[in-house]
Amino acid sequence: MKIISSAFENNAKIPAKYTCDGENINPPLSFLDISANAKSLVLIMDDPDAPSGTWVHWMVFNIDPKIDEVSENSLPKGGIEGMTSFGKNSYGGPCPPSGVHRYFFKLYALDAILNLTTPDKATLEKEMQGHVVDKAELISLYSGA
């Protein structure tokens, strides 16, 4: 399984358009080689370099496994957004206070559909345990305008 973006390469700078310095919208993403056993997909975008600990920028779960792309500024079909570190259930782009931060777009294929409403990351990850059949990640970098 793979996750890629037409807006940036893995381990390369994410364009400002997708950050708090720009339009603050999600970048386009493509999902490749999804497991035939997948009943749902989960997408988590977080920043492990945040001063206060890992900062969650976006969480979407129960994405239809037939989905192979997410357009910019859109929610994947069937997806439900979880609570981010911004206290919102929507995308919040990179906005580092200083230095270069890494932003991980993590895609999980699950053998289940999760019965959750707007979980935080800890709750989502707990519910995912024992159901992950595959995982992929894409890393972007950003240091601010």
Task: Judge whether 28 and 7 are in contact, CB under 8 Å.
Answer: yes
Print pLDDT tens along the chain (145 aa): 999 999 999 999 999 999 999 999 999 999 999 999 999 999 999 999 999 999 999 999 999 999 999 999 999 888 999 999 999 999 999 999 889 999 999 999 999 999 998 899 999 999 999 999 999 999 999 997 6
Write the class of the CATH domain 2-142.
alpha beta
Structure confidence by residue, pLDDT tens digits, 43-70 = 999 999 999 999 999 999 999 999 999 9
Residue 116 DSSP label: -
Nearest to 1 by CA among 50, 40, 43, 35: 35
Distance CA 27, CA 119 (A): 22
Structure confidence by residue, pLDDT tens digits, 21-32 = 999 999 999 999
